[in-house]
Structure 1
Amino acid sequence: MIIFPNRDAVIKNIQKNVANKEYNKKVEIDDPQMTTKESINRINEYFRKRATPIGKVKNLCARAIYRGVTWVENRHTEVVGLENLTALDRKKGAIITTNHFNPLENTVIRRFMNKAKLHKRLFIISQDTNLAMKGLVGFLMNNYDIIPLSKSINYLGQTFPKILKKIINDGNYVLIYPEEEMWFNYRKPRPLKRGTYFYAAKINAPIISCFVELKDLPSFEPNTNDTIHRVKAIVHVLPVIFPDPNKSAKENSLRMMEQDYNQKKEAYEKAYGKKLTYDFEPEDIAGWVGPNADKK
């Protein structure tokens, strides 16, 4: 998995947020910042460029890069629970949810889709600030199949659900992280935010519920001074969650969110053999050689 700098500071932020019971709060440092107006301007420019011939070429390039990265990063990745997709209508798309622990964890989901023979495009919901990133990551954020998320009420209430509905109705898949912020290599499923499930209910989209288990490998990530082991991902595919046509969007969103959290919680407890609590322990960060741990 890709390793950004400042992991020690990020892990300290995770510890602080856990102590404060703020499980959806940002922990990364030096992320780009922008106002709502800047966000909408950048998002409009993003979609304008994507519709141009050069934008379409760049999209093909970005997708090719992701296919290569998916192969390189997931040679050890396992997928279990594919039998839970039996009830899924493969002619229609779906929303995929999983725990949010690494910038390239979406390649783990791409690996799962390949194993499940879900041969459609995977779109990823990403914060608007990621469009301001530089270098290769910035190129991918601006040219891959990204759906940016803004704090604009009008965008969230009008534009965003229309984009989501079209993608789903075209038979494609959308990866959304209901934990919101990425917590580096954090093993535990965190409390979920309701927005994902409200949109799913509004557009009548099923939820493919996933939980990614992380196992430490003997080797270390480069440029981490032997403090971060590489990790192996195991994708647990959980029962698909469908909206109830007899319930309102609000009722469905609450029910679907609760079911998704409970499934992820149960998957965590089975995978790691212990009850889920939010007391911080060094092993909560996969691969991390904590302050009192011996290097493997």
Structure 2
Amino acid sequence: MSAEVPREGRTPRLWSRADAVFFDVAMAIVRGYGYVVHGLRVTGREHLDAVGGGVVTVSNHVHYLDGPWAAGQFRGRRAAVTSQPENFRLPVAGFLVTHLLALALPRTPGELRTFEERLRRVLDAGQGVHVFPEGELVMYDTALRPFRRGAFAYACRLGVPVVPMVFTYGARPWWRPRPPIRLTILPPERPRGAAPADVAELLARCRAAMDAVVRERRGVAARW
């Protein structure tokens, strides 16, 4: 995530002006590409719009573009997507990841402190952070895999809601090479405390809501 060098007497912005503009333009392009090429359809955006202030969103990780598709659902604000550090070093994709306001997942104690500072600043500013609790991408696999606790621990610690999102696939029409993608945005789940038991309870609550969507869509599993 590119940072603007703060000048004396000014409050540093979360992102440089160039990165903010790049994000807004890229999100419009990525949303359009998803709608036209992948048949992306979104339901429940009102649940995200109704959340005031900082918010953590989580989803399953089933496509190379599902991070931008999720971040692109924010209206009037922006969302930073967490990403593996190696993605920032890819020849072309690394440039895109860097300037799409991504947050590199920490690997060392020093990186953890930097990550937590940036995450807190984003949420305190009323913006969003999108996390894939499954960790790794598995293309077109909508069966929920085990969740890591990080996103839910930060939500509990910072007192912000979690909005679960679920990517599923519809029945493939004869003229599409891949099944159409559905993104379901669910009502926010709010933390009840910051203890380890509260983190586990919030994770379980979000996963149960997401799993209900997966089960509902299971009868129209992707075919290609």
Q: CA RMSD in A?
A: 2.5
| Distance change (3 Å), C-alpha of 1:164 and 1:240 | same
| Distance change (3 Å), C-alpha of 1:104 and 1:144 | same
| Conservation of the 8 A alpha-carbon contact between 2:134 and 2:148 | yes
1:3 corresponds to which residue?
none
- Structure 2 unaligned blocks of 5 or more: 7-15
1:209 corresponds to which residue?
164
| Conservation of the 8 A alpha-carbon contact between 1:108 and 1:233 | no
1:51 corresponds to which residue?
4
The alignment partner of 1:230 has SS state of: coil
| Conservation of the 8 A alpha-carbon contact between 1:176 and 1:196 | yes
In the TM superposition, 1:35-184 aligns within 5 A as 47=2, 50-51=3-4, 56-57=17-18, 60-61=21-22, 63-75=24-36, 76-82=39-45, 84=47, 88-90=50-52, 92-113=53-74, 118-135=75-92, 137-156=93-112, 158-184=113-139
In the TM superposition, 1:7-18 aligns within 5 A as none
| Distance change (3 Å), C-alpha of 1:174 and 1:249 | same
The alignment partner of 2:73 has SS state of: helix
| Conservation of the 8 A alpha-carbon contact between 1:77 and 1:232 | yes
Residue 125 (structure 1) shift: 0.6
Matched, 1:243 2:191: yes
Mapped to 2, the partners of 1:138 and 1:266 lie a distance apart of: 35
Mapped to 1, the partners of 2:51 and 2:216 lie a distance apart of: 28
Mapped to 2, the partners of 1:168 and 1:238 lie a distance apart of: 19
Mapped to 2, the partners of 1:166 and 1:210 lie a distance apart of: 23
The alignment partner of 1:242 has SS state of: coil
Quote the sequence identity (%): 19
Residue 56 (structure 1) shift: 4.6
| Conservation of the 8 A alpha-carbon contact between 1:101 and 1:186 | yes
The alignment partner of 2:146 has SS state of: coil
1:231 to 161, 179, 191: 179
In the TM superposition, 1:239-278 aligns within 5 A as 239-244=187-192, 247-273=193-219
The CA deviation string for residues 30-85 of structure 1, in whole angstroms up to 9 with x for no partner, is xxxxxxxxxxxxxxxx65xx4269x6535533542332122122243222234545
The CA deviation string for residues 256-276 of structure 1, in whole angstroms up to 9 with x for no partner, is 1111111111110111249xx
Further displaced range: 166-175 or 100-109: 100-109
- Structure number with larger C-alpha Rg: 1
Residue 214 (structure 1) shift: 1.3
Mapped to 2, the partners of 1:58 and 1:111 lie a distance apart of: 15
Mapped to 1, the partners of 2:174 and 2:69 lie a distance apart of: 20
TM-score, with normalisation over the residues of structure 2? 0.83
Matched residue type, 1:172 = Q
- Structure 1 unaligned blocks of 5 or more: 1-45, 221-228, 275-282, 290-296
Mapped to 2, the partners of 1:62 and 1:112 lie a distance apart of: 12
Mapped to 2, the partners of 1:273 and 1:210 lie a distance apart of: 19
| Distance change (3 Å), C-alpha of 1:107 and 1:231 | farther
1:42 corresponds to which residue?
none
